[in-house]
Amino acid sequence: MVSVGVLGLGLVGGSVARALRRAGVDVVGFDAVPATRVAARAAGLSVTDDVASLCRTAPDVLVLAVPLRAVRPVAAEVARHVGGPTVVTDVGSVKSAVRDAVEAAGLGERYVGAHPMAGTERSGFAASSEDLLDGAHWAVTVGPTTRADALVRVLGLLTGALGGTVHVLTDEVHDEAAALVSHVPHVLATELLGVVADAPVRDVALALAAGSFRDTTRVARTDARRTEAMVTDNAAWVAAGLRVVVRDLERLALALETNAGVAPFFDRPDPVRQVVRPDSTHRTEHRVVLDEQGEWRTTLTGLGARGAVVVRVQDDAVHVV
């Protein structure tokens, strides 16, 4: 069991804090917005009045759950106050940019990246819940300076009290994958809402809209600045994904205009159409020893890139399938 500090009590940070309290973990939070601190205390959470006080509680793990645009200044402030064996992690949807920020602040050796693939179109502490992260798949990212003991502590927290499933990755693999399954979908959902907003038949179109439109545009109804930050902080991978989308849609539009066949476009997803997540039932279990030479980083991230998940941490090894 570890003690945890959560810096930022919005949708994800608030949900992390609530879930940890439910699990009986010693958790303390802070948010820069006074009204959020009041609401969190009213919900039964222990909350400090500033970053320095949160750091002085000397948590085993400090979770940065602030907006992406705030990570750099917040990391710099944390670096002035954090001490002892505290490990720093986060919940940001982009990992390379966050690692750059924490390393610039001097927190690189304490840092283990993390991102839960969970959320809603709503934001703020009022939208958080103790069960939002139940069963969530987490990406945990490591770099050349990631310490084995720091990784073990974060893995224990995520797979233990938070009940998550963990994929260990490099920042680059995470950002490419997240662009495909999260960031590009946010852009496409926003574009669809924008097309309808500009259409002369907008009012009747919205009146007729049903499940397909609702489901496709759900994530576009979130805070626009939050989505903008996510996309711009992962600009290279999002742009690459959008280039492919634009190419394919241009080909489809041309085929429709010329009465050509369009079956290949609709058949292309067949290999993954019924697959929600790859089946790991019959995979071989790998025991990766956290050696001092650091070869475990390459081994774990290589397995993670192939979809392997952490099943347990035992002694000096991480077991993945």
Q: Which CATH superfamily is domain 175-268 in?
A: 6-phosphogluconate dehydrogenase C-terminal like domain (1.10.3660.10)
Question: What is the distance between the alpha carbons of residues 321 and 307, in angstroms, rounded to a whole number?
Answer: 9
Can you give the residue ranges of every domain in the chain?
A: 3-169+281-320, 175-268
- Nearest 5°: the CA angle 157, 160, 161 is 75
3-state SS class at 267: helix
Residues 126-152 pLDDT 10s: 999 999 999 999 999 999 999 999 999
Instruction: Note the pLDDT of residue 315.
Output: 80
**What is the average pLDDT across 285-308?**
94
Secondary structure (3-state) at 209: coil
CA atoms of 162 and 136, how far apart (whole Å): 9
* E strand or H helix at 162: none
175-268 shares the fold of 3-169+281-320? no
Tell me the whole-structure pTM to 2 decimals: 0.95
Among 41-45, 103-107, 281-285, 293-297, whose mean pLDDT is lowest? 281-285
Q: Tens of pLDDT along 247-283?
A: 999 999 999 999 999 999 999 999 999 887 777 677 8
Phi first, then psi, for residue 25 (nearest 5°) are: -85, 145
- CATH entry, 3-169+281-320, from 3.40.50.150, 3.30.413.10, 3.40.50.720, 1.10.8.590: 3.40.50.720
Mean predicted lDDT score pLDDT of the chain? 96
Q: Are 220 and 186 in contact (CB under 8 A)?
A: yes
Give percent of the chain with pLDDT exceeding 70. 99
Alpha-carbon distances, residue 177 vs 93, 181, 183, 305 (angstroms): 11, 6, 9, 9
**Does 231 score more than 70 pLDDT?**
yes
